[in-house]
Structure 1
Amino acid sequence: MGIFTEIFAWWTGNTIGTRVFTWRKGVRVGEDDLGNSYYKERNGPRRWVIYRTLAEPSQIPPAWHAWLHHTVDVPPTEEEYRPRPWEKAHRPNMTGTYEAYRPPGSTLRPDVRKPPLDYEPWQPR
């Protein structure tokens, strides 16, 4: 993002105030696959994230979420973790996009012409 966006765009969550605070008091801990950077306070308990794009909390993977909320003390970059075979890869919230879940019968579902009926409607003779 450009410097102009950092100064005036609060909705990105990455304003000039955040940059100054991070520069003065932050220590970089790591980065996730999406490009988000994670920091902690030098002499304090505070932890935060600087998003690569828009500030969308659903972009934080579960391992980093646990670290940010003090569920675990060790950041994911310092531990060797292998996901279990049944674990799915992290996927951000898709609400409001074309990939959002559309249940059967939804008028927004593009591949369904007529909603499926689980009953037989009454027809007059």
Structure 2
Amino acid sequence: IDFAHPVNYDQLNDFLAQILLLVIGVELVIMLCLHLPETLLEVLLYAIARKLLLVPKTAGVADLLLGVLAIAGIFFIKKYLMPKKGETLNEDEEKAIKAYLRSRISNYDKKNNKNNKEVISEENN
């Protein structure tokens, strides 16, 4: 970029595209590390916002409207369909989760005991 002359649209657009691509890349790495639904929504939000900011001059109003509707949909999902931070489970949900975990642990223990007995019997033979 030559600061003596004004920046043209294409240079600014390319610079902004690269910065937003780096932001999306960082968010993607965070999403892969955390495995949370909230991070997936954030990556989608940044990707759609990048697409909206870098709309080509030939794009129509339909592209802009579709992008705005997509962002509105993500905000709707975050507000109404995602659990709030610090939100607790009710007693029935907590009991169901505990029962499920107990059954999984007992099945795992039974399976391990069976495999251990087979290994011991093979070693004795």
| TM superposition score category, shorter chain reference | under 0.3
Radius of gyration: which is bigger?
2
Structure holding more strand per residue:
1
Structure holding more helix per residue:
2
Q: Which has the higher contact order (CA 8 A, sep 6+)?
A: 2
Task: Compute the TM-score of the two structures, normalised by the length of structure 1.
Answer: 0.25
